[in-house]
Amino acid sequence: MKINKLYVSAIVMILLMLGFTYIAVGMDSKSAGGDIVNDLAILGAIVIFSATIIVAIKYVRQMQTDKATGKLAEDNWDGIGEYENELPIGWSIIFLGTIVWAFWYMLFGYPVNAYSQIGEYNKDVKISNAKFEKKYTNLTKTQLTNMGESIFIVDCAACHGLAADGLNGTAANLNKRIQVKSVEYVIEHGSDNHLSAHELATGMPVMSAGLTKKQIHTVAEYVSNGFDKSNKAGAKIFASTCASCHGADGYGTPYVAPNIHTFTPTLVAHIVGHGKHGGIGVMPAFKNLNPVQLKAVATYVTAISKGE
Ligand code: HEC
Ligand code: HEC
């Protein structure tokens, strides 16, 4: 009775698996006018499934009826003992073989410098970039700006908008250096976006200590509105709290703090190359642009931010 049940479930199993194979392959065979390859796949499936199930049944039955033999080891745990059987010779060979194969694979089978499609792609990109750079050296500012505009439309406009206005706050408005919201965010949270244009510079610490919410807003408006001299209160806070790093007019100090008065091509290229996160959101880094393209898009953004 037990064994019958086993066979029945085996047959159900085979039929199920064949059913799935038919759904995956067989449907196609009709639409493709009975492609013989699909029929062969079904045939292969029948053979593989039957063989697998027959072997599985053999071992299940063996487990049901077999008695273990051999010498029991001395130790036993609550009556459960262990036989002192030798490791099957086939297993030992496969185990040792796997170790040997692993070393072979590491050292010779897939050497680090071997051919790879990714390697070939990278090589081609390098060659193409070199060609590109050779062709487009010494571009005039107008040419750079034009190239930058094309890149901007492809890579940046999706977030910043064609008019670079930030699409209602989705991304930064690039027509001005910085928005009130972003300045406030940086004062309250600090910033570490590599804006200082060299890798070792540390970011800006949180600067809200000693400033009220209102003062933070006032100085943020001062910065955001192009260092608006009529905002006396803002100018005063800036001079006492920010100028030591950013310079009296916010044009930045090399190695200390970036220019927050205007965009410069270097600064924009750095933002594009590293990405940025802040009060508005997250901008990904653009590693796919080559140096000429980076310079072009940075020149373009710098130009529009000045309203040129
Ligand atoms: C200790 C020096 C230091 C002081 C003081 C300081 N900053 Fe900064 N600031 C930095 C550095 C460094 C960065 C660049 C951070 C980065 O790489 O993300 C920065 C970045 C900024 C930015 C971000 C620019 C951007 O494009 O996102 C703004 C805005 C800013 N600072 C405003 C201020 C204001 C306003 C004050 C005064 C309340 C101030 N900072 C005080 C060092 C300073
Ligand atoms: C996935 C959307 C997205 C794309 C694409 C994108 N940006 Fe941005 N960008 C942002 C966001 C969001 C911010 C604001 C980050 C923050 O909160 O300070 C930003 C900020 C900036 C800033 C800094 C503004 C500041 O206040 O310091 C510049 C410059 C900039 N982007 C230029 C570009 C250029 C050039 C491209 C195309 C190469 C580009 N971005 C592509 C989302 C994007």
Q: Which of 160, 266, 290 to mutate to test the pocket of ligand 2 (most atoms within 8 A of CB)?
A: 160
92-to-85, 87, 88, 102 alpha-carbon distances in Å: 13, 7, 7, 15
Mean pLDDT taken over the chain: 88
244-262, pLDDT tens digit by residue? 999 999 999 988 899 999 9
Residue 263 has pLDDT above 80, yes or no: yes
Confidence of residue 35 (pLDDT cuts 50, 70, 90): low
Share of the chain above pLDDT 90, in %: 52
pLDDT of residue 31: 54
How far does the centroid of ligand 2 lie from the alpha carbon of residue 7, in Å?
65
> What's the mean pLDDT in 265-291?
92
Per-residue model confidence (pLDDT) at position 13 = 85
Stretch 222-248: mean pLDDT, rounded?
Answer: 94
Provide the residue count of the chain: 308
Is a pLDDT exceeding 80 seen at residue 32?
no
Vertex 275 angle, CA 250 and 199, to 5°:
65
Band the pLDDT of 27: cuts 50, 70, 90.
low
* Mean pLDDT, range 55-62, rounded to an integer: 88
For 135, other C-beta atoms within 10 Å of its C-beta total 9
How far apart are alpha carbons 40 and 115 in whole angstroms? 34
The answer to whether residues 188 and 180 touch, using CB atoms and an 8 Å cutoff, is no
Say if CB 41 and CB 29 are below 8 A apart.
Answer: no
Neighbours of 192 (CB within 10 A): 12
Dihedral (Cα; 15, 16, 19, 25), 10-degree rounding: -110
Q: How far apart are CA 261 and CA 263, in angstroms?
A: 7
Mean pLDDT confidence for 125-148: 91
Residue 307: per-residue pLDDT: 61
Q: Which residues line ligand 2 (CB under 6 A)?
A: 155-156, 158-160, 171-172, 174, 178, 182, 268, 271-272, 276-284, 286, 297, 301
pLDDT at 217: 96
pLDDT at position 145: 93
pLDDT in tens, 67-96: 877 888 888 888 888 888 888 899 999 999
Average of per-residue pLDDT across 113-138: 87
Contact 189, 206 (CB under 8 A): yes
Contact 180, 231 (CB under 8 A): no
User: Which stretch of 108-122, 136-150, 235-249, 271-285 has the lowest confidence by average pLDDT?
Assistant: 108-122
Give me the pLDDT at residue 147, please: 95
